[in-house]
């Protein structure tokens, strides 16, 4: 359920964008009618309408998620705070200027902000990745360091890849990459990390010890 909720804004953005992209004239009329007061000039064209409507949906859902988590007194992880800030700032700019290029920067900035957080935390003697995963794994300090650098490098490359797709291909292709391509790459990288870290899983509550890692 948590995984579904994490991806819900992305799923709804893609679904809304895809529908609006196939019905651009309707999307332009709908966006102008409902969001015209929020955009520069008051009129939304058919080319930018799909991204604008998708951005509105994603912004609302992300904000609702954060509010509900706060009301339920549930922890809000760092990535969700970063996403909310970027959605509100870049999403608001996208809506006002009705320029899809602005929101295309959101994934890259989110990747780089999280990677920068991992990097900066080291300067204060902390390891954010260790704090996030430390409840599941017991790793030697050098392994945490390597894992931290691996994520910093991966997030940096993902930010660059997102911009390449955003500028080299159509908005429709970028939206598909954002949902399927980027998510798939993140999943593959995460699975690789889990396989590597499986040897360090904490013992089961019944006292059973995990098998010794092969050296």
Show the tokens assigned to 164. Answer: 């390449």
- Angle, in degrees to the nearest 10, between helices 78-97 and 106-123: 140
CB contact set of 86 (below 8 Å; sequence gap of 6+): 106, 109, 110, 113
> Could you report the per-residue pLDDT of 157-188, keeping only the tens digit for each?
999 999 999 999 999 999 999 989 999 999 99
Q: In whole angstroms, what is the distance from residue 151 CA to residue 148 CA?
A: 5
How far is it, in rounded angstroms, from Cα 37 to Cα 41? Answer: 9
Confidence of residue 137 (pLDDT cuts 50, 70, 90): low
Percent of the chain with pLDDT over 70: 87
| pLDDT, average across residues 203-210 | 53
Quickly state the pLDDT bin for 131 (edges 50, 70, 90).
confident
The larger pLDDT score, comparing residue 60 to residue 2, is at: 60
* Lowest model confidence (mean pLDDT) among 41-50, 63-72, 84-93, 140-149: 140-149
Instruction: Tell me if 39 sits within 8 A of 55, measured CB to CB.
Output: no
DSSP for 25-70?
Answer: HHHHHHHHHHHGGGSTTS---TTTHHHHHHHHHHHHHHHHHHHHHH
Mean pLDDT, residues 139-156: 87
């Amino acid at each position: 359920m948590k995984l579904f909720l994490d991806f819900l804004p992305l799923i709804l953005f893609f679904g809304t964008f895809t529908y609006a992209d196939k019905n651009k004239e309707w999307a332009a009329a709908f966006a102008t009618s409902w969001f015209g007061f929020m955009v520069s000039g008051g009129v939304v064209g058919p080319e930018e309408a799909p991204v604008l409507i998708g951005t509105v949906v994603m912004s609302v859902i992300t904000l609702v998620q954060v509010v509900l988590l706060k009301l339920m007194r549930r922890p809000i992880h760092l990535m969700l705070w970063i996403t909310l800030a970027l959605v509100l700032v870049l999403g608001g700019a996208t809506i006002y200027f009705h320029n899809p290029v602005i929101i295309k920067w959101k994934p890259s900035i989110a990747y780089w902000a999280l990677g920068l957080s991992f990097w900066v935390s080291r300067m204060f003697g902390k390891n954010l990745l260790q704090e996030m995963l430390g409840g599941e794994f017991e790793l030697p300090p050098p392994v945490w360091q390597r894992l931290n650098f691996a994520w910093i490098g991966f997030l940096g490359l993902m930010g660059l890849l997102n911009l390449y797709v955003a500028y080299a291909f159509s908005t429709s292709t970028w939206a598909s990459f954002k949902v399927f391509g980027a998510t798939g790459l993140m999943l593959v990288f995460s699975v690789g990390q889990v396989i590597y870290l499986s040897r360090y899983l904490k013992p089961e509550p019944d006292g059973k010890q995990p098998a010794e890692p092969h050296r």
